[in-house]
Structure 1
């Protein structure tokens, strides 16, 4: 928590970090408006585009200048993934979360920047480049959304009936369907990338079961925002999410208000 509180206590640094995440979103939108995304396939068969890499370099360079004392882990730099073995505080970046959504041009993609301290996200920034909305927050510091020059503090809402369940457009597997069926009266809300966690933070959804693979950089930033808004993200058995594991894959989890 030490670094998260230090960032909040320094309005100049907070603003610079917000601008950096916003600039990464602008770099993504510059590619989005072209006809050639420069799509390649990574070793794990997932796609990567020019936008992923442009945002990655912009964020890494900016963070190195703003917070030279904090190490950096990025999805687009495999070598950086050994950092958690020797650092208990580091930035965790997903420069473009929702690359498939980006390629499909459906607007459901985000920039994720999380501060990991002692194996948990203490602070996070998420931007939605398509409408230039910026979210930030952390478990002990609150959560905010800046949209169209309007700043609002975010709070989760008490569960409603029917229960509003967020599910992925592309990962609604049988385990998830069974989980949702056991909740009783539900209404399904579709969202892509880390937007699913943000919908709960905004009070627009109640629960998000994720019983399919995700990586730590997919969830960390939005988890911090959701926890700042009063929500919770836990493994299916109720234990806390762990960050900085040797295996970057998350266990199945449930996010709730």
Structure 2
């Protein structure tokens, strides 16, 4: 199924970066530490170079905020339209030899991701989303003639919804909320793949209390919304991008959020959060 020129271009850049990352995954890689003590590898840096070079060629007039460049203090002036790039989301999974890592590119317009591409190189699976035309999955990059298929959320969650949560950053607040929502079936997955499981209807709800950055979430956010889902703040309100000069955290840092295919799940979770924590959306 055709996915459109822009999504095709973003998916191609993700493929190129993912192919490079796999060479490090197979051969091993040294792990360094950034200023915030999060891990970074040569695979992160080189994959980001591939993506930045491609975006500069394809979209020279759109600024790009990329994780490793931003960590080094290289952040362009942004307007209402800019790219967010995470060249290797799930670095902890990557260095541990687990395959739940992804390449992510998103286009943000007026505070919302409108295009997103997510590629899981080890799995060979890619997801793209355009909020105007829908979300799509490509099952295997390696298979000749592999096609994109349209995907959609479960807009009505089943009687026993499936929750998806972080593998490396699971916390007590997440488990407490899922307990109060009586969501006993829980899947642990790393990286932005959590959004993609919701987008293709394999899971129903993804809460996040811990800290993330905009480049971690934007591409998966776009795919989920394009598939019919929603991402909201912990109070159920809008979840925005392009956050600068925040009093509670650094530029482009996210507060907690709720993601789901069925908006009723977000409403229920937001009501519980407000009853417990009041208007605090930074937890």
TM-score over 0.5 (shorter chain): yes
TM-score by length of 2: 0.83
Please name the residue that 1:249 is paired with: 253
Find out whether 1:76 has 2:58 as its counterpart.
no
| Corresponding residue of 1:150 | 147
The residue matched to 1:76 in structure 2 has which SS?
Answer: helix
Distance in 1 (alpha carbons) for counterparts of 2:116 and 2:124: 16
Q: What is residue 281 of structure 2 aligned with on the other side?
A: none
1:81-125 Cα deviation digits (max 9, x unpaired) = 3533xx211110000000000000110000010001111111100
Match of 2:19 among 17, 23, 26: 26
Which residue pairs with 1:135 in the alignment?
A: 127
TM-score (norm 1): 0.91
Q: Do 1:22 and 1:132's aligned partners in 2 also have CA atoms closer than 8 Å?
A: no
1:10-68 Cα offsets, whole Å, 9 max, x none, are x3x54333211101000100111113x12111111111001101110000011101111
Contact (CA 8 Å) 1:167, 1:191: kept in 2 or not? yes
Tell me how far 1:169 sits from its aligned partner.
1.3
* Kept in 1: contact 2:64–2:76 (CA 8 A): no
Q: Distance in 1 between matches of 2:32 and 2:168?
A: 20
CA distance in 1, matches of 2:81, 2:27: 37
5+ residue gaps, structure 1, are: 1-7
Matched, 1:44 2:41: no
Secondary structure of 2:201's match? Answer: coil
Asked if structure 1 preserves the Cα contact closer than 8 Å seen for 2:232 and 2:257, the reply is yes
- 2:45 paired with 1:53: yes
Report the secondary structure of 2:106's partner residue.
strand
Shift of 1:217: 0.6
Aligned 1:164-203 pairs, distance under 5 A: 164-203=162-201
Q: Deviations over 1:181-225 (max 9, x none)?
A: 111243011111001111100100010010111111110000000
Q: Which runs of 5+ in 2 are unaligned?
A: 141-145, 245-250, 262-283
Give me the whole-angstrom Cα distance separating, in 2, the residues matched to 1:99 and 1:185.
28
Q: Secondary structure of the residue that 1:21 maps to in structure 2?
A: helix
Q: Are 1:159 and 2:157 matched, yes or no?
A: yes
Match of 2:80 in 1: 88
Equivalenced residue count is 245
CA RMSD of aligned residues (A): 1.4
Q: How far apart, in 2, do the equivalents of 1:46 and 1:244 lie?
A: 22
Summarize the Cα distance change of 1:16–1:171 in structure 2 as closer, same or farther, 3 Å threshold: closer
**Distance in 1 separating the partners of 2:77 and 2:196:** 27
Residues in 1 aligned to 2:232 and 2:193: alpha-carbon distance in whole angstroms: 17
1:65 aligns to what? 57
